[in-house]
Amino acid sequence: MAHLSTTAIICAVRHHGEHGAIARLLTPDHGLTPGYVRGGRSRAMRPVLLPGNVVKAEFRARTEDHLAGLTVELAHSRAPLHAEPLPAAAIDWSCALTAAALPEATPCPALHQALSGLLDAVEAAPAARGWAVALVRYELLLLAELGFGLDLTRCAATGDATDLAYVSPRSAAAVNRAAAVGYESRLLPLPPFLVEGGTGDWTQILDGLRLTGFFLERSVLIDRRVHVLAARERLVERLKRAVA
């Protein structure tokens, strides 16, 4: 990538040097792409370089081995949402997860489309229930894209595709209600909306977050990436308080 011009979603920004910043952007066709923004810590750039914002990005690098210089122009701002606790927590977590989990320069158009849709839902929905199911589905898709997908099509024990109610933490496969008898405490609840589509109530949504969170923590957010789980914990706690 000597030169790349694209729209992109800002996922993470960290200070670099006295005035600059390194931003990691999710692009539609080139995956997660980092770049150095000269003056990225300036007053003018701070509201642009916010997670969740959509920008027109220009990456320029001398060689593929060098960090690209990056210039950005704001295309769509979600800055007002950062002043609202629940939307801000959802944006922080979904973008931090994306930046921490995805390998760089690996095309993932389905994830770009899904993250864009999730952020649109956070922006448009009048309450968290309008986007919480989309968040669970985004986490599930990310697991699948990274090779840690859950098999929710049939029961791991019987092969039956009906009455699926749990997921085995060992096999990451669904278990139906009959096969789960006596083992319920060892299994993770499977919310119906992940099998049947549609939405769910708050108990089911929190079950969904518990399910995806278990596999994210076990398989993806390990080593140095584990620090981003704090953003997820803040989000889940805020959701629990909101529906209590």
Looking at CATH, the fold of the domain delimited by 3-77 is given as OB fold (Dihydrolipoamide Acetyltransferase, E2P) (2.40.50)
What is the DSSP secondary-structure string of 152-179?
-SS-TTT---SSEEEE-TTT-BEEETTT
- Kindly tell me the burial class for residue 132, based on how many C-beta atoms sit within 10 Å of its own C-beta (0-12, 13-18, 19 or more): buried
> Is residue 1's pLDDT more than 70?
no
- Which tens digit of pLDDT belongs to each residue from 110-163? 999 999 999 999 999 999 999 999 999 999 999 999 999 999 999 999 999 999
Statement: the pTM of the whole predicted model exceeds 0.85 = yes
- Which tens digit of pLDDT belongs to each residue from 68-93? 999 999 999 999 999 999 999 999 99
User: Where are the chain's structural domains?
Assistant: 3-77, 84-152+190-243
